[in-house]
Amino acid sequence: MKLKDARHLSADAQEALRYRVVNAIENGMSKSEAARFFSVSRTAVHHWTKVVNEQGAKALKAKKRGRRFSSRLAPHQAATTVRLITKKCPDQLGLPFALWTRESVAQLLEQRYGVSVSVWTVGRYLKRWGLTPQKPLRRAYEQDPKALKQWLESDYPAIVKLAKQQGAQIHWGDEMGLRSDDQTGRSYGKQGQTPVVPGTGQRFRCNLISTLTNHGTLYFKLFTQNFNGNVMLDFLRRLIRQIPQKVFLIVDKHPVHLSAKVNRWLDKHTHEIRMFLLPSYSPELNPDELLNHDVKANAVGRKRARTNSEMMATFGGIYAVGNLSLMLYNAFS
């Protein structure tokens, strides 16, 4: 049987072998004897003893294997590329892409610096720069950054201050729809075989309107009809009956929130409730949006309801066992 030489050993094993060879020579073994005994070349033995004499024993430590990383980009070009990827989208830079991929980055490098590299090289660049593929968040381009900044720095602090003065409770409100055919989450299965989840072929839905306080108290109502002024007013009436203190309700600019019917009712109940509007296209400001995501992921996505009533009961059951204080206003009750 032909024995494999030291080149087939791991980096740690090679390092240990070098130490043993040099130690044997230092203890009186000749270089020729060490080469035969440890099955290494005399050239290697001579080189190891030489570097130990010149640099010390640390010179025998294992070094990183493989081809050394080399970039065709100057440091300032790499830094600029990282800034563009993290701050801009490809279409904002005149590229025919909506998301950053290896192909789009390759076109960016060729467009800006005249550097043509393969997608595999781009992948190595991205890894070295600490950039990984991620599912992006969606943000409307109609959003006004100035209005957003004003809300965070001026409008909301003023609401908090006024709420303390009037003894009011701040609520964040929102609405959403739930569908029986909505598919969320993932399920394990054999590679190459998409798992099949049985479910009803019927399509039904229900809607949810809710408010969430800064202390985590949740109030919600489930209903099957379309969201309109009547549904909104019914929820607001129930809300102020349940809460003894004044309510400051923060909502988005949904047409129902801006309707004359709702605003006429609010004008008659200013001592009980007051409504404030978020900047347009700014769902990230509303913590109730996180509740909406949780409902779709845990109430509908992980349960296969057979009927509309079962779907609504599933939602109520999940949150009834939670740590939040819940007030369930079921449209069927």
The string of pLDDT tens digits covering residues 203-242 is: 667 788 999 998 888 898 888 888 999 999 999 999 999 9
User: Residue 36 has what pLDDT?
Assistant: 86
pLDDT (average), residues 40-46: 87
Nearest alpha-carbon partner for 295 in 138, 216, 173, 178: 178
Q: Comparing 32 with 200, which gets the higher pLDDT? A: 32
Residue 153's alpha-carbon distances to 78, 146, 156, 185, 248, in angstroms, are: 35, 10, 7, 36, 18
Q: Comparing 262 with 145, which gets the higher pLDDT? A: 262
The per-residue pLDDT of the chain, averaged, comes to 82
Residue 206, number of CB atoms within 10 A of its CB = 22
User: Residue 98 has what pLDDT?
Assistant: 83
Nearest alpha-carbon partner for 259 in 224, 232, 241, 288: 232
Q: Comparing 259 with 176, which gets the higher pLDDT? A: 259
Residue 31, number of CB atoms within 10 A of its CB = 16
> Sorting pLDDT into bands at 50, 70 and 90, what band is 315?
low
Q: Comparing 144 with 126, which gets the higher pLDDT? A: 126
Percentage with pLDDT > 70 across the chain: 77
pLDDT (average), residues 86-99: 88
User: Residue 298 has what pLDDT?
Assistant: 66
d(CA 314, CA 205): 13
User: Residue 1 has what pLDDT?
Assistant: 42
Beta bridge partners of 206: 178
Q: Comparing 182 with 19, which gets the higher pLDDT? A: 19
Q: Comparing 304 with 247, which gets the higher pLDDT? A: 247
d(CA 136, CA 60): 46
pTM: 0.57
User: Residue 133 has what pLDDT?
Assistant: 86
Q: Comparing 249 with 32, which gets the higher pLDDT? A: 249
Nearest alpha-carbon partner for 287 in 234, 236, 205, 217: 217
Widest distance between CA atoms in the chain: 104
pLDDT (average), residues 22-50: 87
- Judged against a pLDDT cut of 90, whether residue 305 lies above it is answered with no
d(CA 189, CA 193): 7
Please state which of the ranges 3-17, 32-46, 166-180, 262-276 shows the lowest mean pLDDT: 3-17
Angle at 39 between CA 38 and CA 44, to 5 degrees: 90
- Judged against a pLDDT cut of 50, whether residue 162 lies above it is answered with yes
d(CA 32, CA 151): 81
User: Residue 201 has what pLDDT?
Assistant: 63
User: Residue 231 has what pLDDT?
Assistant: 94
Nearest alpha-carbon partner for 325 in 219, 221, 237, 249: 219
d(CA 124, CA 127): 5
d(CA 266, CA 256): 13
User: Residue 332 has what pLDDT?
Assistant: 28
User: Residue 312 has what pLDDT?
Assistant: 63
d(CA 148, CA 136): 20
